[in-house]
């Protein structure tokens, strides 16, 4: 793609009311635009990153046996009343509105209720189970404060998966597979090393839920990590009894700030009973379906990645979700420099390597600054000086390391870069 064709240019300043590092960098880099606190538009570069994250998550959900669907934002009041989650005193983040008829409707902040209700049309006997469904959906949550950029949005993209199983054993089997799948996702987007499976508070049915917490100074959570066992406990439920129960040693626990990037939860048969979702077992007896819920905040994940992988001059995208693999900068003024740039651009495209070519008429310094800010992992620089040697400069955004390579070595280097 040619940068001159991109309407979304970099900006010198983020809006003054934007205090989060992730949104400041993403706005300045032209990835997102701020509508209001916690509400952001995704511009072409931002949408590419979002789609790359979605595709990684989608692949892993499909591997788990998930079937993709799309539920609606509009929610029926009577459904959420059945599970006692309609009242603003019980759930304080509802956006609600009113139909022309005067009937109240909600805007979806989660979807256990409608999906479980829908399943009554499809689950009859034990033969219908298990069922794993997931969706990517824009959720609305009426947050009192929204100061963390895209890490805590009033409107945000979430992947939510729901599992319907015949019994606790079959549920647990899937739940454990889902944990592995989630760890793989965080690994693939570049957060593997710093994302820890964390015990958190459960609900009416289970003692615990599991969170996936990424270590982050600007995170809103506090967790206690056992580095050897690679598990953690959320501060909310930390107790001597629990530490003992999990076979951990208090002295080995390290307190860190973190942000929740995923969360999985067993509802047992509570919600199925509330919503009347039963199946017939092999003896023809009605039994309540066992429900699990598995969430990943897709836009939040993008925000966390920016918070973690950035420096004083801009973003440093992990290769797997970078909008492009290569940023090709022509800073020369000669026809020859343009010719070489065009050739390398064509070579990269031929090799299916995604490339953003800065073909704009700007000073080299401006191009370098924009490139630092946008944060593509590899930068290839064509200058009038280097073309005579036949070796071209390639700079790694992460390490700052510069190499001079001929075209063939350049392509090899790019193909192998991770």
Alpha carbon distance 205, 198 (integer Å)? 18
Q: Pick from 405, 326, 398, 327: which is nearest to 368 by CA?
A: 327
In degrees and rounded to multiples of 5, residue 270 shows phi and psi of -60, -55
Is there binding between residue 95 and its own copies (CB under 8 A)? yes
Among 40, 175, 309, 324, binds its own copies (CB under 8 A): 40
Alpha carbon distance 109, 86 (integer Å)? 11
Is there binding between residue 44 and its own copies (CB under 8 A)? yes
Closest CB to its own copies among residues 163, 234: 163
Is there binding between residue 207 and its own copies (CB under 8 A)? no
What spatial distance separates the first Cα and last Cα of the chain, rounded to whole Å?
Answer: 21
Among 19, 63, 67, 227, binds its own copies (CB under 8 A): 67
| Number of residues counted as binding its own copies (CB under 8 A) | 50
Angle subtended by helix axes 44-63 and 298-308, to nearest 10 = 110
Among 29, 114, 149, 375, binds its own copies (CB under 8 A): 114
Is there binding between residue 142 and its own copies (CB under 8 A)? yes
Stretch that binds its own copies, among 17-25, 41-49, 190-198, 363-371 (CB under 8 A): 41-49
Is there binding between residue 140 and its own copies (CB under 8 A)? yes
Alpha carbon distance 5, 20 (integer Å)? 29
Among 58, 82, 91, 138, binds its own copies (CB under 8 A): 138
User: According to DSSP H, which parts of 249-312 are helical?
Assistant: 270-275, 298-308
Residues of span 153-182 touching its own copies by CB under 8 A: 154-155
Is there binding between residue 84 and its own copies (CB under 8 A)? no
Decide: 14 and 27 in contact? Cβ < 8 Å.
yes
Is there binding between residue 136 and its own copies (CB under 8 A)? no
Is there binding between residue 386 and its own copies (CB under 8 A)? no
Is there binding between residue 99 and its own copies (CB under 8 A)? yes
Minimum distance, C-beta of residue 385 to its own copies, in the bound complex (Å): 28
Is there binding between residue 72 and its own copies (CB under 8 A)? yes
Decide: 35 and 17 in contact? Cβ < 8 Å.
no
Stretch that binds its own copies, among 99-107, 224-232, 287-295, 387-395 (CB under 8 A): 99-107
Is there binding between residue 283 and its own copies (CB under 8 A)? no
Among 131, 243, 270, 353, binds its own copies (CB under 8 A): 131
DSSP 84-96: T--STTT-TT-EE
In degrees and rounded to multiples of 5, residue 231 shows phi and psi of -130, 165
Decide: 85 and 116 in contact? Cβ < 8 Å.
no
Minimum distance, C-beta of residue 247 to its own copies, in the bound complex (Å): 38
Minimum distance, C-beta of residue 121 to its own copies, in the bound complex (Å): 6
Is there binding between residue 87 and its own copies (CB under 8 A)? no
CA distances 207 to 200, 267, 284, Å, are 9, 11, 31
Among 16, 17, 89, 97, binds its own copies (CB under 8 A): 97
Among 18, 25, 29, 42, binds its own copies (CB under 8 A): 42
Alpha carbon distance 89, 80 (integer Å)? 13
Stated as kind and residue range, the H or E segment containing 246 is none
Contacts of 127 (CB under 8 A, 6+ apart): none
Is there binding between residue 36 and its own copies (CB under 8 A)? yes
Is there binding between residue 71 and its own copies (CB under 8 A)? yes
Alpha carbon distance 181, 60 (integer Å)? 6
Residue 402 burial by Cβ neighbours in a 10 Å radius (0-12, 13-18, 19+): exposed
Residues near its own copies (CB under 8 A) are 5-9, 11, 33, 35-36, 39-44, 47, 50, 67-76, 95-100, 105, 107, 114, 118-119, 121-122, 128, 131, 133, 138, 140, 142-144, 154-155
């Amino acid at each position: 793609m040619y940068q001159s064709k991109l309407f979304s240019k970099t900006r010198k300043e983020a809006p003054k009311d934007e205090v989060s590092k992730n949104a400041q960098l993403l706005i300045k880099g032209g990835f997102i635009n701020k509508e209001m606190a916690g509400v952001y538009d995704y511009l072409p570069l931002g949408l590419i990153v979002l789609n790359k994250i979605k595709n990684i998550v989608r692949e892993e959900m499909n591997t788990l046996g998930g079937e993709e669907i799309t539920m609606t934002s509009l929610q029926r009041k009577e459904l959420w009343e059945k599970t006692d989650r309609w009242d603003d005193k019980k759930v304080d983040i509802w956006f609600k509105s009113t139909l022309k008829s005067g009937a109240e409707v909600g805007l979806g902040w989660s979807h256990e209720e409608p999906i479980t209700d829908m399943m009554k049309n499809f689950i009859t006997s034990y033969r219908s189970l298990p069922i794993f469904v997931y969706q990517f959906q824009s959720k609305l949550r009426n947050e009192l404060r929204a100061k963390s950029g895209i890490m805590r949005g009033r409107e945000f993209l979430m992947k939510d998966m729901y599992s319907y199983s015949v019994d606790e054993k079959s549920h647990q089997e899937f739940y454990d597979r889902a944990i592995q799948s989630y760890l793989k996702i965080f690994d693939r987007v570049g957060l593997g090393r710093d994302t820890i499976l964390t015990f958190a508070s459960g609900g009416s049915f289970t003692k615990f839920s599991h969170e996936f917490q990424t270590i982050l100074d600007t995170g809103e959570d506090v967790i206690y990590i056992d580095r050897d066992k690679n598990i953690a406990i959320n501060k909310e439920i930390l107790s001597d009894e629990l530490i003992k129960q999990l076979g951990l040693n208090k002295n080995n626990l390290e307190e860190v700030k973190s942000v929740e990037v995923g969360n999985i939860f067993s509802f047992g048969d509570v919600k199925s009973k509330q919503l009347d979702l039963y199946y017939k077992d092999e003896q023809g007896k009605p039994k309540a379906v066992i429900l699990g819920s598995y969430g990943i905040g897709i836009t939040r994940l993008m925000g966390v990645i920016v918070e973690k992988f950035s420096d004083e001059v801009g973003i440093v995208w992990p290769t797997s979700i970078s909008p492009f693999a290569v940023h090709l900068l022509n800073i020369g003024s000669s026809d020859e420099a343009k010719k070489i740039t065009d050739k390398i651009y064509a070579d990269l495209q031929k090799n299916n390597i995604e490339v953003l070519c800065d073909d704009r008429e700007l000073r080299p310094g401006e191009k370098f600054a924009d490139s630092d800010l946008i944060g593509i992992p590899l930068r290839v620089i064509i200058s009038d000086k280097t073309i005579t040697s036949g070796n071209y400069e390639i700079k790694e955004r992460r390490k700052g390391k510069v190499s001079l390579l001929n075209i063939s070595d350049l392509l090899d280097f790019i193909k192998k870069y991770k």
